[in-house]
């Protein structure tokens, strides 16, 4: 397999045609070695347009979703970034490459450990924390950017309130088979603007699943 050709095809035939045109995002997807963050058994599938299973019912986002999310968040150098769902560490690596000061939270100890190891191996500075952040993450800080990388049934209010003025929150809301990716921007105080970005379908964060409907 020609890895560099596969990376080129991913960007030019998947990501760019999905309206990801931001040069910084495209350069990031070229520079951060996606295959190094994929599960070893799926390394050669790292560039396919499909979610890759990483254990615990979670997945590595497809490249097109990563690209659209990074473009919408418009991360600027020095901005404080909070990621909910570290997964393999790839998304955090991309956000750090764009200049973000990234804290990533992962509920599963083994995923957090492997993400930390991969990031350290590539000398990418990201703080990885372990814990359940499905409803919020109480670290007493506000963030310029928050990315929730698993789906949620509803937008957790705690994360809207963690945004600083001008802060952006990416979140995927709903339930299968169709979910909606949203960008929520805090303009000032309690004034928020919500933009619908695209439809997709990803696993829910643990403890953020829809409540089962009652049947009689």
pLDDT in tens, 164-216: 999 999 999 999 998 999 999 999 999 999 999 999 999 999 999 887 655 54
Domains contained in the chain, number: 1
Residue 105 lies in a domain: yes
Does 1 have pLDDT greater than 90?
Answer: no
Q: Enter the tokens of residue 137.
A: 């993450």
Residue 45 lies in a domain: yes
How far are the Cα atoms of 93, 117, 118, 175 from residue 89, in angstroms, in the given order?
A: 6, 9, 7, 25
Q: Which residue has the higher pLDDT, 48 or 209?
A: 48
Residue 211 lies in a domain: no
CATH code of the domain covering residue 183: 3.40.50.150
Residue 216 lies in a domain: no
Q: Describe the crossing of helices 23-31 and 90-97 by its angle, rounded to 10 degrees.
A: 130
Assess contact for 174 and 151: CB atoms under 8 A.
yes
The boundaries of the domain holding residue 119 are 3-200
Residue 213 lies in a domain: no
Q: Residue 163: name the closest of 193, 185, 191 by CA.
A: 185
Q: Enter the tokens of residue 20.
A: 């990801």
Does 58 have pLDDT greater than 90?
Answer: yes
Q: What is the pTM of this model?
A: 0.95
Residue 112 lies in a domain: yes
Residue 214 lies in a domain: no
Residue 212 lies in a domain: no
pLDDT at 134: 93
Task: State mean pLDDT over 106-133.
Answer: 98
pLDDT in tens, 7-36: 999 999 999 999 999 999 999 999 999 999
pLDDT in tens, 61-117: 999 999 999 999 999 999 999 999 999 999 999 999 999 999 999 999 999 999 999
pLDDT at 75: 99
pLDDT at 211: 75
Question: Could you write out the DSSP letters of every residue in 161-214?
Answer: HTEEEEEEEEEEEEETTEEEEEEEEEEETTEEEEEEEEEE--PBPTT-SPPPPP
Task: State mean pLDDT over 37-63.
Answer: 96
């Amino acid at each position: 397999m020609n890895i560099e050709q596969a990376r080129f095809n991913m960007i030019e035939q998947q990501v760019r045609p999905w309206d990801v045109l931001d040069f910084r995002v495209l350069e990031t997807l070229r520079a951060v070695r996606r295959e190094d963050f994929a599960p070893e058994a799926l390394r050669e599938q790292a560039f396919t347009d499909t979610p890759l299973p990483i254990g615990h019912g979670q997945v590595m986002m497809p490249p097109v979703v990563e690209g659209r999310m990074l473009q919408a968040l418009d991360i600027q150098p020095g901005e404080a970034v909070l990621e909910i769902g570290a997964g393999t560490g790839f998304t955090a690596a991309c956000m750090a490459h764009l200049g973000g000061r990234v804290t990533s939270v992962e509920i599963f100890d083994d995923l957090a450990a492997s993400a930390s190891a991969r990031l350290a191996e590539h000398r990418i500075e990201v703080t990885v924390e372990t814990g359940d952040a499905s409803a919020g993450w109480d670290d007493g800080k506000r963030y310029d950017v928050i990315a929730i990388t698993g789906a949620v049934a509803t937008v957790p209010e705690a994360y809207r309130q963690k945004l600083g003025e001008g802060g952006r929150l990416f979140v995927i809301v709903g339930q299968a088979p169709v979910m909606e990716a949203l960008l929520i921007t805090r303009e000032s105080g309690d004034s928020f603007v919500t933009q619908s970005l695209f439809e997709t379908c990803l696993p829910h964060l643990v403890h953020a699943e829809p409540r089962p409907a009652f049947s009689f």
